[in-house]
Amino acid sequence: MSYPIYNCFHPILRKKAIEIDSFGGALSTFASEMLETMRSADGLGLAANQVGDRRSLVIVDEFAGGNSSKSSPIFLINPKITAFSETKQEYQEGCLSVPKFYQYINRPSDIDLEYQDLDGNLHKISAGNLLARIIQHEVDHLSGILFFDHLTSLKRVLSKSKLRRIEAGETDAHYNMINPDGTDNIVTDQ
Ligand code: ZN
């Protein structure tokens, strides 16, 4: 089953996530439904608040889309970035909560990360390039931060009309969405 995705202007996208301390079947079921949602919307990452759930859980998959046989989703529970490289990189980002809006964002190119898996085991990893990019974008969601918050003020001004249309629910997404006011925007004609 797949969930509708919340529009970036819905208040839940600005809430801080709640730490997960209970692992097991129900969490795994939710995680697999999130994965299905991410795949059917063609995303490379998804945070739980994007499907209306405030728990601290994201999925990242740098190989999603295109060649799906390489797909290797990682479920990150209670993720924390513990170090950022000084070297930064510009890369074009998009977000399933901000349909059809793409912007170059400058971020550290490498990170160290701690997270728990679906069984609660702690992992420490280093990531670079696209994976580091996706993780930073998704972990931002857990702090209520959206990728366009990182834009320069000039770029924000230039993006205003496009973001206003998204705020008005004119998203033209190919997947189901929840509008900023909580009404849905269910796609019937796929
Ligand atoms: Zn996003």
Q: How far does residue 114's CA lie from ligand 1's centre (Å)?
A: 20
58 DSSP β-pair partners: 47, 76
Which is the catalytic residue, given 33, 90, 138, 170?
Answer: 138
pLDDT < 50: residue spans in the chain: 190
d(CA 47, CA 110): 20
170 is catalytic: no
Q: How far does residue 14's CA lie from ligand 1's centre (Å)?
A: 12
d(CA 60, CA 168): 28
Q: How far does residue 89's CA lie from ligand 1's centre (Å)?
A: 18
Reading phi first (left if > 0) and then psi (alpha if -120 to 50, else beta), residue 151 is in: beta
Write the pLDDT tens digit of every residue in 48-102.
Answer: 999 999 999 999 999 887 666 788 899 999 999 999 999 999 999 999 999 999 9
Cβ of 13: how many Cβ atoms within 10 Å? 21
d(CA 169, CA 93): 20
Q: How far does residue 37's CA lie from ligand 1's centre (Å)?
A: 13
Q: Given this model, what pLDDT does residue 63 score?
A: 86
Q: How far does residue 123's CA lie from ligand 1's centre (Å)?
A: 23
